[in-house]
Amino acid sequence: MLEGGRISEAELIAMMMYTVMGTAFFFLPAVAAAFAGRDVWLTPILAVVAGFLVALFTGYLSSRFSGFNFFNWTEIILGKTGGKILQFFYVLWFLHVTSIIVNEFVYFVRIAFMPVTPPLVFSILLLILTGVAVYGGVEMIGRLAIVYLPVSIVISMGITLMAAGLYDFANLTPILERGIAPVLAGTFPPAGWRSEIFLGAMFFPFLKRPEKAGWVLFRADLWIGFLLLVDALSVTLAFGDEAARLTLPVYSLAREINLMHFFQHMEALVLIMWFAGIFVKVAAWEYATMLGMAQWLNLKSYRPLVLPGSLLLAAVTNYDMPNVAILTHFLASVTPFDLMLFTIVLPGILVVLSLVRKSLNPRRVKRKGFPGKNVVADPG
């Protein structure tokens, strides 16, 4: 038994929302604005397509092989050897993405609050806390996500409303001044980030109703699109074309708030929202990493991997991105291709192969050595 927990649809939606918004909420206005300019608010709307594709592919595979997660699907479709090879690359990818997320947290805290503190201190502190949640299991991460999400939404909406005095609707015009091409270019990075809801495919067996898995990711994608649209609009209304020159536009927006000379410098609220989002996001990715590694190694539990896996992540994080300029460039230029390969292209290929190989039905899966439904979440 690898894990015996259960999560609700709302908890998985909350986890997937944090999986994308934990970092996209803060970086999207700057990264996308570098391409789209004042039309940056259009990019979250167009990026919803990437999330739809992920929900479609993973939802189909989940309905075809109910009760299994993505790593199980690879072995069912590609066979034992082919599945293990693909799983190995996904484990490496999980480690890489998690280290990037930890780096995003480290550089945010250093830029905004503690510039002289060694980055290794922040990465180790975060991974210790998330490691406790990962060891506690999927239910603990799901509960944390459903508790933190309303707080983050209230803070986000509060900052948006308190900054209303800074808004100038002239910053939105003229719409599509340079045509649609810059908007499409600016859509690519957030589309890549939006595809991160693919991580839900590792959590499908834990759902109380696994048959709703694709619909859960579809709803998460819609909610993410709405909140990122509000985020991009507020930053564009406040800063216009200057948003592309800001490293952390949401943080800069909070610093400019001056409501009735009483509500000023609301950076602390941004830190609360950032830490809640990044904590759940790192915990979800770290959990998927340890779970996938345990499945790849055919272990009976993922928990013995949590401590060494966290230490490995801390080491990789410390050497992965040397400064925030390289990190921002990597997020804008390399990450979208990296994410879409593993979240859309490869799952799409598995869907095609599963359609071609009609013999892969649940009865034959059972005869191939898989124990049947809820293989990952079997309570005993």
* pLDDT digits 0-9 by tens, 73-105: 999 999 899 999 999 999 999 998 998 888 888
Half-sphere exposure of 298 (CA within 13 A, CB side): 6
Token pair listed for 48: 């919803």
Lowest mean pLDDT among 154-158, 198-202, 203-207, 242-246: 242-246
| Lowest mean pLDDT across 145-149, 209-213, 227-231, 362-366 | 362-366
pLDDT of residue 376: 43
Domain ranges of the chain: 9-356
Overall average pLDDT of the 177-185 stretch: 85
Query: What pLDDT is attached to residue 320?
Result: 62
Q: What pLDDT is attached to residue 199?
A: 93
The residue-averaged pLDDT of 15-38 equals 80
Maximum mean pLDDT: which of 22-31, 163-172, 246-255? 163-172
Q: How far is CA 202 from CA 296, 300, 353, in A?
A: 13, 16, 20
Cα 89 versus chain centre, distance = 18
Cis peptide bond upstream of 174, omega within 30:
yes
The CATH number that domain 9-356 falls under is: 1.20.1740.10
- Encoded tokens for 127: 């991974």
- Inform me whether the pLDDT recorded for 228 exceeds 80: yes
**Cα separation, 83 vs 74, whole angstroms:** 5
Which residue from 316, 234, 317, 196 is spatially nearest to 26, judged by alpha carbons? Answer: 234
User: Taking the model in full, what pTM does it have?
Assistant: 0.87
pLDDT tens sequence across 336-366: 888 999 999 999 999 999 888 765 555 545 5
Lowest mean per-residue pLDDT among 41-55, 78-92, 140-154, 243-257: 243-257
Q: What is the mean pLDDT of the chain?
A: 83
The conformation of residue 60, written as its DSSP 8-state character, comes to H
Rounded Cα distance between 355 and 22, Å, is 35
Q: What is the mean pLDDT of residues 112-132?
A: 84
How is residue 3 annotated by DSSP?
Answer: -
Q: How far is CA 324 from the centre of its chain?
A: 19
Q: In this predicted model, what pLDDT tens digit does every residue of 286-316 receive, in sequence order?
A: 999 999 999 999 988 899 999 999 888 888 8
Q: How many CB atoms lie within 10 A of CB 179?
A: 9
- Residue position matching structure tokens 């990190």: 327
Residue 7 CA to chain centroid, in angstroms?
A: 18
The confidence score (pLDDT) of residue 379 equals: 31
